[in-house]
Every structure is written in structure tokens, then in C-alpha cells.
Amino acid sequence: MQHELPEDWLTIGNPWEFQRPDVTYMVGFGGSVTTKQTAPGQHAYVWVPGETLLAAAYDTPVVGGDTDGSPQMRHANTLRLWSARAASPLHLDDFNKGDHVGAMRERVRTEAVSRVLYPGDGSDAGQELRLRQEFFFASASLQDLISRHLHLFGTLLNLHEKVAIQLNDTHPAIAIAEMMRLLMDVHGIAWDTAWQITVASFSYTNHTLLPEALETWPVQLVERLLPRHMQIIYLLNGHHLERVRREALANDGLLANVSLIDESHGLIDRTFAKAFREIAFRALKDFVDRPKDHRPGKDLMRSSRPMADALRRLHE
């Protein structure tokens, strides 16, 4: 029988890693969503998290060769990783009252988010930690990307022309909703424009179309941990299904199959994988049914299509 043991590889430090104490971002969970008036007849949503974590940046240089074929190492990219920190690492009042363990409870809970990558999600607590971890990494990375882009260009309207965000399978899927939240709620960009930027910025690698890859989150869990993102997902799903209804072959069975929300079990598909899977099979069937002289030259099985663009295909 195989037993997993923790790999404590950072115990003696990492000589190739550089902490960036000046690069930190706040990542929220829970709380509530309110509205505020931004102009006569216009309102904006405001997410007020009930819990806030600090994302601390650590950089690792990835050295490469020169572009002219020279073996000299003249260029380096940066791999930026994140560590979760508690906003208040020690509750001094509890510590002074003798509750030495309880005073550290928040710090332990927070650091668990980045302590073990891909924690087991076989239990309710494990599933919650998995979602917290995936959102923590996605949110910190997107906030950092947007901050650096604004520093260089001063606008987010050209974000999709300057960056490429690759979602590697299901784990960072919540980044779609987080990007929409950041663009709309934080930077004041309208829904349609924010969606266009998101569609053009993201690409998605799907490693399998088999049913076991269709991971799900309980709706109640997402509503509790990420209430604003749940609102955005509901709205995305509404637009998505409305477009599907307009198709000649759309019926209740198809709508249920491609919905991002499983109404019968109260589940939400991670990465919108169900819709992607339906699109992929339909596209492949369409490819096979066409006469050979009318088939597109691109290999459908090897091409990597943006996940958001895949959803948009059903919208249009």
C-alpha cells in the first residue's frame, strides 16, 4: 500500500527564491455583497469579505538562453509564487489570558491555505480548503497581473492585447469569475466590455473529456465563501442558457446538460467543464459529419481553445 508523506522541502530554505516583502495583496472570503450608487440610475456591487488573508510574493528566476542561439544566459523570466499570511498572526489578548494555542488559531488556519498543494477534498473540510486554496492563488495572481499592467499601460482596456492567461485544467477555474469581479467591481468596467477582455485573455487546457474530470463544488459552499463570485456565475449561466435556448436543437435535456449549475444536486461545475465537454463533442461530431473537402485544416483534437471562447460559441 502506498502512503503519502509530506515533502518539507522549504525547511532549510530555497537559495533560488527571493521574497518580495513589498508585493502583497489582500484575498477575501465570505462576508456579504452590497450595492452603492455610482451615478443617477447606476449602481455598483461591493463585496465586503468577512475574512481577509494576505498573499505574500516569492520570486524564482527562470533563466533561459539568448534569442540568437548563443549558449550565454542573458534572459530570465520570473516565476512568482504566493504564501498565505494571517492579517493578525497573533491574538495578544487571548495569549495573555493563557489561551496560547487559541491565540495562534487564525494563523494556523490561514497558513494551511498554501501549506499543502492540492489538499484532499474527500471531506467537507478538505473540499473547502481546496476551494480556498484555488481562489487564493488565482486572486493573488490576477491582482498582481492587473497591477503591473496598469503600471505599464495605465488602462485595462488593452489587457487582452498584452497578456495571456493559461488555465491548466480545472484548478484555477475560479479565475474567470474573479477576473470579471476585478474588472467590474474594482476597476469600474461594464459587464460586456469586461467579458470581452476576459474571453480574449484566457485560454484553457483540458486534459480529458471523461465524466470523472467534471469536478463540482456545492453551490452552498461557493455562496458562503465567495458570494460575489456566485452572483457572477449565476449571471454568466443565465446569459449562456438564454443563448442555448435560441438554437434550433435546444431542449430541456440539452439545457440541463450544458448548464453550469446542476439544479438537481445543487452543484456548480468547476471550470465550466460540462459546457466545454458538450461543445467539444458537438464540434467533433460536426467535423466528422462534414465532407472531407469541407473540413477545416486545424486538428480539432490538438488545438487549444480559450475556455471562455468555448462558452461564447454557445452564446452566439
244: CATH? 3.40.50.2000
More confident residue, 211 or 16: 16
CA 216/CA 213 separation, integer angstroms: 9
- How many of the other CB atoms lie within 10 Å of CB of 77? 10
Q: List all residues 6 or more positions away from 162 whose beta carbon is below 8 Å from its beta carbon.
A: 149, 152, 153
What order of strands is seen across the sheet that includes strand 261-262? 216-218, 267-269, 261-262
Establish if 4 belongs to a structural domain: no
Establish if 71 belongs to a structural domain: no
Establish if 67 belongs to a structural domain: no
Establish if 293 belongs to a structural domain: yes
Spatial CA neighbour of 163 closest among 180, 139, 147: 147
DSSP E strand stretches across the chain: 18-29, 32-39, 42-48, 51-64, 75-86, 165-168, 202-205, 216-218, 261-262, 267-269
Establish if 257 belongs to a structural domain: yes
The listed range with the strongest mean pLDDT (5-19, 184-198, 278-292) is 184-198
Crossing angle of the two packed helices 273-289 and 307-315, in degrees rounded to 10:
70
What is the tens place of the pLDDT at every residue in 98-107?
776 777 788 8
Strand partners, 81: 58
Given this model, what pLDDT does residue 27 score?
97
Establish if 238 belongs to a structural domain: yes
What is the tens place of the pLDDT at every residue in 220-274?
999 999 999 999 999 999 988 888 887 756 677 778 877 888 877 666 665 454 5
Given this model, what pLDDT does residue 297 score?
38
Locate cell 446569459: which residue? 239
pLDDT above 70 for 72: no
Residue type, 238: G
More confident residue, 285 or 80: 80
Establish if 5 belongs to a structural domain: no
Establish if 6 belongs to a structural domain: no
pLDDT, mean of residues 7-11: 75
* Domain total of the chain: 1
CA dihedral of 73, 77, 83, 87, whole degrees rounded to 10: 120
Quote the DSSP letter at residue 203: E
Residue type, 162: K
Given this model, what pLDDT does residue 294 score?
40
Domain span holding position 212: 18-61+76-315
pLDDT, mean of residues 7-20: 84
Model confidence pTM above 0.85: no
